[in-house]
């Protein structure tokens, strides 16, 4: 411990250029060369105050773990940026850049670092600023209510939408109170929703603007006109919001030139037509609740959505057709049997009513068909004939989007079946990496059922013992005597009470018996390590343990599920179904247990997140997540091994705990003491040091855990 005042003084003094040079040189070494040294960076950093220097060095170190070039670009941009941004703004800036890098690569990430000036607007009045993270979930629900489907909400520098995802700024600090800043967020979300709902992108906006000398300026004007049109719509559909927004702005835009856009039937084409009449070189009006237009991104998202929906609609119509033909005696002829009648004018909420007809007769479409038609109608304003011709043979075209290349999965749309995305915790950034892990749920292929029989024979005496112990645990009907309410009269109590009464004592009210079934309201999820390191006898012991455990659990009648986990890299995380909660313990489950084989690595965080989601869907008073593991979290490349993996796993367990799940880990790793208490908590793990005893121990541990 040091009390020397000089030392504390030194600690607060700015670092010299030399010291900074050394530090940066060692951190950024891989991207430095004889022509590109750390010296110029150090020169610009040297005049900064010490806490700012620390801020920069700290983040350089964090970003290095992801990408050295990004770290270099950050260090280069930071001195100028820190003059304009306050610490909260600067952090938003860095996180935004890292998100852009995670999502779109080095070029985009670097761009965010260079454009720090844009973030200056986000800074200021930090006490009343509203951050994206705070409100993202509320707004997601809000938009889901408006749209009737889940739309993703992400953060980006400028508000815009590609019609699938709404992008909102990372921070809003334009106003002096939190409520007002939130209202800006809310208005932006509603506006973006209206853009996608009311056909802003139905026209080719780029082509419409290309005829002008300054297309970019024309697009800005078009954006303004669309805002006017959609605000008029919002005023009709959401009058309360419109009122609040007008109050916030302090004035109501009321320009007679735009009156045509405020009518019920106005479309994006009216805005485009109006564009020709405007003096485009004039200043474009702007206000805080305005978004931007990105026609290209919207067009791409729209095209992929239409292709997907066309496929889906065609196969659904085929199924519908089969159903109708089965039920009616005469089957119709001709290719074009479906048709759609669309109402001429939209109703007040802007929806177009429509009737689906089959061979000219109106039919009531099932909900999924109706929703699809509605969605296509939103995009196109009509249902083209080719959408209505059912798919060829039985409409089996669903697997079109199936792709096995993880890199492809990463690029393609989020709507693929069977593929799930999970966030991952980066403890250095103290933020989640969004949709970082790609997870698939696979079935364990049933194998040799003989293993189970052999195991049961091998442990025959112990199994008998096990059964007896667990039978004793089983909740039996209990007859509770002397109750105030119950099914029957407790004669003993009545007689005693009668005697009491005659001897002048008070009459008891507890004269009934009640039959109570003590129920174990418990759901337990077993998460089994299927990583490559379990190969050999550990795997055997795991499987034997599961065989004995399922025997015991069947006696108890607890609800349980067994899933294995493994994977290699974040793009291929795999969860193997051995037994689902609603599956009976039958031959299939037994043969799946037998064929649990070691796979790749142990990326635990994503597995816990997924299994916790499954467990949360079960209705039980107590929910348990028990992990059978042989070592630390580990994955191939991207730094998962070590602290990062441990911290991510810990975070995933904390998330599970918040959802009311208790977690426990059974491990055979002798070094578990070093990291398991940190992940699971001091009392929530146990070490089985002799692998051969694992099979019997697991059931025993389970018994102790649940009584």
Partner 1 sequence: MSNPMPAKITPPEKKRLQPEARMIEREPYYEPIGDEIALFESAYTSQIPVLLKGPTGCGKTRFMEYIAWKLKRPLITVSCHDDLTAADLVGRYLITNNETVWVDGPLAHAVRIGGICYLDEVVEARKDTTVVIHPLADDRRILPMEKHGELLRAPAEFVLALSYNPGYQSVLKELKQSTRQRFIAIEFAYPNETLESKIIVTETGLDTETTHELIKLAQLTRNLKGNGLDEGASTRLLVHAAKLMQRGITPRAACHSAIASALTDDPEMLRAINELASSIF
Nearer to partner 1, 190 or 575 (CB): 190
Minimum distance between the CB of residue 512 and partner 1, rounded to whole angstroms?
8
Residues 326, 324: Cα–Cα separation, whole Å: 5
Nearest approach in angstroms of CB 435 to partner 1 is 18
Instruction: Answer for the pair 75, 62: CB distance below 8 angstroms, yes or no.
Output: no
- CB closer to partner 1 out of 95 and 139: 139
Query: Whose Cβ is closer to partner 1: residue 554's or residue 583's?
Result: 583
Looking at the Cβ atoms of 487 and 587, the one nearer to partner 1 is: 487
Return the number of other C-beta atoms located less than 10 Å from residue 253's C-beta.
Answer: 15
Query: What is the residue whose two structure tokens read 């008998």?
Result: 464
Least distance (Å) between residue 513 CB and partner 1: 11
DSSP readout, 487-530? Answer: SEE-HHHHHHHHHHHHTTPPPPS--EEEEEE----EEEEEEEE-
Closest CB to partner 1 among residues 147, 203: 147
Q: Which residues bind partner 1 (CB under 8 A)?
A: 137-139, 141-142, 144-150, 186, 190, 237-241, 244, 349, 487-489, 494-495, 498, 511, 515, 582, 617, 619
Cβ at position 241, least distance to partner 1 in Å: 4
- CB-neighbour burial class of residue 393 (10 A; exposed 0-12, middle 13-18, buried 19+): exposed
Beta-bridge partner residues of 666: 628, 686
Nearest approach, Cβ of 606 to partner 1 (angstroms)? Answer: 22
Beta-carbon count within 10 A of 593 CB: 29
Count of alpha carbons within 13 angstroms of residue 189, beta-carbon side: 28
| Nearer CB in complex with partner 1: 103/152 | 152
Nearest to partner 1 of 414, 537 (CB atom): 414
Which is nearer to partner 1, 125 or 489 (by Cβ)? 489
Within 8 A by CB and 6+ apart from 615, the residues are 523, 525, 561, 623, 625, 656, 661
Alpha carbons 556 and 541: distance in angstroms, whole number: 22
- Which residues sit opposite 577 in a β-bridge? 443, 563
Reduce the DSSP state of residue 231 to 3 states and report it: helix
CB of 168 to partner 1, least distance (A): 14
Phi, psi for residue 668 in degrees, rounded to 5: -120, 10
In the complex with partner 1, the residue whose CB is nearer, 87 or 362, is 362
- Report, in Å, the least distance between residue 243 CB and partner 1: 9
Pick the closer one to partner 1 by CB: 237 or 679: 237
Q: What is the DSSP letter of 457?
A: H
Shortest distance, position 685 Cβ to partner 1, whole Å: 31
Contact assessment for residue 205 and residue 302, using Cβ atoms and an 8 Å cutoff: no
Nearer to partner 1 (CB atom), residue 36 or residue 150:
150
The residue (of 28 and 238) whose beta carbon lies closer to partner 1 is: 238
Report in angstroms how near the CB of residue 654 gets to partner 1 at its nearest. Answer: 18
Closer residue to partner 1 (CB): 288 or 508: 508
Please give the structure tokens belonging to residue 174: 């334009």
The span from the CA of 111 to the CA of 69, in Å, is 12
Closer Cβ to partner 1, 45 or 190, answer by number:
190
Q: Tell me how far, at minimum, the Cβ of 238 lies from partner 1, in Å.
A: 4
The answer to whether 203 and 272 have CB atoms below 8 angstroms apart is: yes
Give the CA distances from residue 469 to residues 555, 565, 700, in Å, rounded to whole numbers and listed in that order. Answer: 10, 30, 9
Residues 6+ away with beta carbon under 8 Å from 339: 356, 357, 360, 388
Provide the 3-class DSSP secondary structure of residue 361: strand
What minimum distance in Å lies between the beta carbon of 286 and partner 1?
A: 23
Q: Are strands 559-567 and 361-363 parallel, antiparallel or unpaired?
A: unpaired
Q: H or E stretch including 423? A: strand 419-426
**Is residue 261 within 8 Å of residue 271, measured between CB atoms?**
yes
Can you list the pairs that 500-505 forms with residues at least 24 positions away whose Cβ atoms lie under 8 Å? none
For residue 518, the minimal CB distance to partner 1 (Å) is 13
CB of residue 196 to partner 1, shortest distance in Å? 15
CB of 489 to partner 1, least distance (A): 5
Beta-carbon contacts of 629 under 8 Å, excluding residues fewer than 6 positions away, are: 529, 602, 604, 665, 666, 667, 668, 669
Contact by Cβ (8 Å): 158, 194: no
């Amino acid at each position: 411990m040091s009390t020397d005042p000089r030392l504390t003084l030194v600690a607060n003094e700015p670092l010299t250029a030399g010291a900074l040079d050394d530090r940066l040189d060692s951190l950024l070494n891989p991207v430095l060369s004889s022509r590109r040294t750390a010296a110029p960076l150090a020169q610009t950093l040297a005049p900064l105050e010490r806490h700012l220097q620390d801020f920069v060095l700290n983040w350089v170190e964090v970003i290095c773990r992801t990408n050295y070039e990004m770290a270099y670009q950050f260090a280069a941009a930071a001195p100028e940026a820190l003059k304009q941004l306050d610490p909260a703004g600067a952090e938003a800036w860095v996180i935004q850049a890292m998100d852009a890098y995670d999502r779109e690569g080095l070029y985009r990430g670097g761009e965010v670092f260079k454009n720090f000036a844009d973030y200056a607007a986000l800074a200021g009045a930090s006490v009343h600023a509203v951050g994206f993270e705070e409100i993202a979930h509320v707004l997601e629900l809000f938009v889901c209510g408006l749209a009737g489907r889940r739309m993703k909400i992400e953060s980006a520098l400028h508000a815009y939408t590609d019609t699938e995802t709404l992008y909102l700024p990372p921070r809003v600090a334009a106003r002096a109170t939190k409520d007002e800043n939130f209202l800006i967020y809310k208005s932006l979300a509603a506006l973006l929703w209206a853009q996608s709902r009311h056909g802003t992108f139905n026209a080719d906006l780029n082509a419409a603007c290309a005829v002008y000398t300054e297309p970019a300026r024309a697009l800005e004007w078009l954006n303004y006109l669309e805002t006017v049109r959609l605000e008029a719509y919002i005023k009709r559909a959401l009058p309360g919001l419109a009122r609040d927004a007008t109050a916030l702005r302090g004035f109501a835009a009321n320009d007679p030139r735009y009156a045509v856009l405020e009518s019920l039937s106005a479309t994006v084409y009216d805005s485009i037509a109006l564009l020709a009449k405007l003096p485009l070189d004039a200043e474009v009006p702007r206000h805080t609740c305005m978004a931007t237009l990105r026609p290209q991104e919207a067009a791409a998202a729209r095209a992929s959505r239409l292709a997907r929906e066309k496929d889906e609609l065609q196969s659904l119509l085929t199924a519908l057709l089969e159903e109708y033909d089965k039920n009616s005696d005469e089957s119709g002829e001709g290719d074009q049997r479906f048709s759609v009648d669309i109402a001429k004018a939209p109703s007040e909420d802007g929806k177009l009513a429509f009737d689906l007809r089959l061979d000219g007769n109106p039919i009531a479409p099932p909900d999924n068909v109706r929703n699809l038609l509605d969605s296509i109608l939103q995009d196109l304003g009509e249902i083209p004939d080719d959408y209505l011709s059912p798919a060829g043979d039985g409409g089996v075209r669903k697997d079109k989007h199936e792709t096995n290349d993880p890199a492809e999965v990463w690029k393609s749309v989020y709507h693929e079946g069977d593929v799930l995305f999970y966030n991952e915790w980066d403890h250095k950034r103290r933020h989640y990496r969004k949709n970082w892990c790609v997870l698939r749920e696979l079935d364990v292929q049933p194998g040799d059922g003989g293993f189970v029989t052999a195991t049961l024979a091998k442990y025959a005496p112990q199994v008998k013992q096990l059964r007896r112990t667990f039978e004793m645990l089983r909740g039996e009907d209990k007859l509770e005597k002397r109750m105030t309410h119950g099914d029957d009269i407790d004669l003993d109590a009545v007689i005693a009470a009668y005697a009491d009464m005659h001897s002048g004592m008070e009459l008891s009210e507890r004269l009934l018996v009640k039959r109570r079934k003590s129920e174990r309201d418990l759901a337990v999820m077993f998460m089994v390590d299927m990583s490559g390191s379990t190969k050999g006898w550990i795997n055997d012991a795991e499987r034997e343990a599961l065989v004995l455990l399922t025997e015991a659990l069947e006696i108890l009648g607890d609800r349980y599920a067994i899933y294995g986990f493994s994977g290699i890299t974040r793009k291929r995380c795999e969860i193997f179904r051995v037994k689902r909660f609603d599956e009976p313990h039958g031959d299939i489950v037994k043969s799946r247990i037998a064929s649990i084989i070691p796979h790749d690595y142990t990326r635990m965080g994503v597995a816990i997140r997924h299994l916790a989601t499954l467990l949360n869907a079960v209705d039980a008073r107590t929910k348990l997540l028990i992990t059978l593991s042989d070592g630390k979290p580990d994955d191939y490349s991207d730094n998962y091994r070590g602290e990062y993996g441990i911290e991510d796993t810990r975070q995933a367990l904390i998330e599970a705990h918040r959802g009311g799940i208790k977690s426990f880990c059974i491990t055979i790793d002798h070094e578990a003491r070093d990291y398991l208490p940190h992940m699971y908590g001091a009392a929530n793990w146990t070490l089985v040091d002799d692998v051969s005893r694992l099979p019997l121990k697991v059931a025993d541990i389970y018994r102790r855990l649940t009584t």
